[in-house]
A and B are shown apart, each in its own frame.
Chain A
Amino acid sequence: MPTPESKPLELHFDEAAETTQRTPVTASAGRMLTRRQLLVFAGLGVLLIGAIALFLTWDVNGHWDFALPRRTEQIVALTIVGIAIAASTVVFHTLTANRILTPSIMGFDALYVLVATALVFLLGSATVAQINPLVMFALNTVLMMGAATALYRWILGDGQRGLYTLILVGVVAGTFFSSLTNFMFRTMDPNEFDSLMSTLFASFNAIDTTLLWIGGALLLVGVVAIFRLAPQLDVLSLGRERAITLGLDYHRTVTWLLLVVALLVSVSTALVGPITFLGLLVANLAYQLTRTHRHVINLATAALVAVVALIAGQAILEHVLDHNGTLGSIINVVGGLYFIGLLLKEARS
């Protein structure tokens, strides 16, 4: 059963293929933007401005001095999260040579939460309360980068595991990390583990705005790293073997990319908590829109889509459905169905 989401996209896909055929690009056009991509950027730009305007002005009722700073802060947070999730997903897709695996499906978010919890567990929540949250965040991020890179280099192996095995390993590993987190929390403070969990970890209704600046700075580091790795990513999209024969130092590149992915996941998870399927949705939508293998373009498009979706989604939820805490579950319902659709399509091809 193809999901309702995948159908129209599929039509889009074929149409696009025909247009490229009818207007052949010249040899040098590979380096420039096609008209289609320019249109995509322009359209998404308009949507972004619209979403921001909507988010900032809806139902302010004259309380501008109260609403504006708070809402601006939220927009900045959602922008950082959107870019981090989109970029980490696109990079991970190339790394694993398919468009189904994403860092959060593979348990990266859950690993970050586990690492952060383990740190509290080992240091004691009283000690942690005295440490500057920025220092804690930095510490978590560094540990996460080490743990995720080591672990996932092993899990991904040399591409000898089948795709489904890989996904199932990731999904179950994510469950395992969450269970372990849960376990640690309950041993730490059996009475108040829920409140401890919500004070320590962010979610959409409790965006951690203290980490905005450091989160933004780390995001910048990640994005710069990705841009510098873009040619390697392009080569890697041909698959592991071809990349090796083209002289790519595969292990080194994969290690670097995993470090970047872990960094980006740390940023987004620290700000709003785990969101499992957002990356999958925005990355695949971006590929359908751009129809290119070039990472710079795909990354930018996916990031725009993610930011628009988050800001518009949050605005609509807050005002139409009258509360904002359910964006995560809505993304998971839609994304989960889309994911099943992708899996069914993959199995049929």
Chain B
Amino acid sequence: MITIDSLTKAYDTTTVVDHVSLQLPDAGVTSLIGPNGAGKSTLLSMVSRILGADAGSVSVEGLDVFHAPSKDVAKKLSILRQDAHTTARITVQELVEFGRYPHSRGRLTPECRAAVAEALQYCDLVELADRPIHQLSGGQRQRAYVAMVLAQDTRYVLLDEPLNNLDMVHATGLMQLLRRLADEKGKSIVLVLHDVNYASVYSDRIIAMRHGAVVHDGPPETVITEHALGEVYDMEFSVHTLNGDRIAAYFR
């Protein structure tokens, strides 16, 4: 369980995240949705201690992320952010090996090697293992980072807009991979999504934010509704049921 307690972040006069309190589950897929500037990414950055908070606290299974030793937190929680460019010239294999750093501090144990091999296998990267990451396509690279996070083997995996810059094939492929991680490995996946329909189809729970606060929180059946979405995005939606999934249309 990740417990977020009145977490706040402000820049100058704008409060980006405003006293948010939440509990994130220890399994399943949880999506954060909301318009640009709602504070989703900022919230995720604070939960993963990349960004300091102005007030409030975050604890992962009782561990205070802001004050506990960073390496202890890194064994429980990992985050994948939008692909900031890496200058390092490394191969997929080497990247995934970095995922073991919290466990091995740079010296790979046999256990680490097994975890790396498994992560590569799981993300269908075995053939690409020796390719430098800067030569990969966007979808492949995203998979490589997911594999790294997988090798890190944390219960909580946070992803900040992982579908950005991915085409439909790769976006759906990645969502399926994340769903499998939650179902087969019992991970808790928390991700920021722009596409409400991906959130609807793949999530167990959806948290909708607006102006730095949580406005709706629940399973897709309660959040993907014309009323709730209209409130979050301030525009009109029509929600339809297709093959058992709730799909929101907002194109007219």
Tell me the A residues contacting B by CB distance below 8 Å.
Answer: 17, 20-21, 24-25, 27, 30, 93, 97-99, 230-232, 234-235, 237-242, 244-250, 287, 291-293
Contact = CB atoms under 8 A, between A and B. Distances in A.
A30 B70 contact: no
A247 B79 contact: no
B246 interface: no
B70 A247 contact: yes
A246 B88 contact: no
Question: Which residue among B50, B74, B135 has the maximum number of chain A CB atoms within 10 Å of its CB?
Answer: B50
B50 A244 contact: yes
Interface stretch (B94-102, B167-175, B232-240): B94-102
A250 B95 CA distance: 19
B185 interface: no
Contact of A293 (B94, B99, B117, B130): B94
Contacts, number: 91
Contacts of A21: 130-131, 135
Contact of B49 (A20, A231, A237, A244): A244
Given A24-B130, A246-B152, A231 B86 contact: no
Nearest to A26: B130
Nearest to A234: B106
B194 interface: no
A244 to B, nearest CB: 6
Interface residues of B, number: 41
B75 interface: yes
Contacts of B129: 27
Interface string B117-134: 100000000000111100
Interface string B226-252: 000000000000000000000000000
A146 to B, nearest CB: 25
B81 A249 contact: no
Given A20-B132, A21-B131, A27-B116, 13 more contacts: A24-B130, A27-B129, A99-B87, A237-B86, A238-B86, A239-B84, A242-B98, A246-B78, A246-B102, A247-B72, A248-B101, A249-B70, A287-B89
Contacts of B130: 20-21, 24-25
Nearest to B135: A17
* Chain A facing B: main interface SS: helix
A97 B86 CA distance: 8
Given A30-B94, A241-B50, A247 B75 contact: yes
Contacts of B101: 231, 235, 246-248
Nearest to A27: B93
Contacts of A241: 50, 79, 81, 84
Interface in B161-181: none
Contacts of A237: 86-88, 90
B105 to A, nearest CB: 6
A53 B152 CA distance: 51
B86 A239 contact: yes
B118 to A, nearest CB: 13
Given A235-B101, A241-B50, A248 B88 contact: no
Contact of B99 (A98, A232, A246, A248): A246
Nearest to A100: B87
30 contacts: A17-B132, A20-B132, A27-B93, A27-B117, A30-B97, A231-B105, A231-B106, A231-B107, A234-B106, A235-B98, A235-B101, A238-B98, A241-B50, A241-B84, A245-B48, A245-B74, A245-B77, A245-B78, A246-B74, A246-B98, A246-B99, A246-B102, A247-B75, A247-B102, A248-B101, A249-B70, A287-B89, A291-B89, A293-B90, A293-B94
A67 B135 CA distance: 53
B93 A30 contact: yes
B49 A238 contact: no
A248 to B, nearest CB: 6
B167 to A, nearest CB: 23
B73 interface: yes
Question: Which residue among A25, A241, A250 has the maximum number of chain B CB atoms within 10 Å of its CB?
Answer: A241
A271 to B, nearest CB: 30
A47 to B, nearest CB: 24
Given A99-B87, A293-B88, A247 B93 contact: no
B88 A238 contact: yes
Given A20-B132, A231-B106, A245 B90 contact: no
Question: Which residue among A230, A239, A240, A246 has the maximum number of chain B CB atoms within 10 Å of its CB?
Answer: A246
A347 to B, nearest CB: 14
Contacts of A242: 81, 86, 98
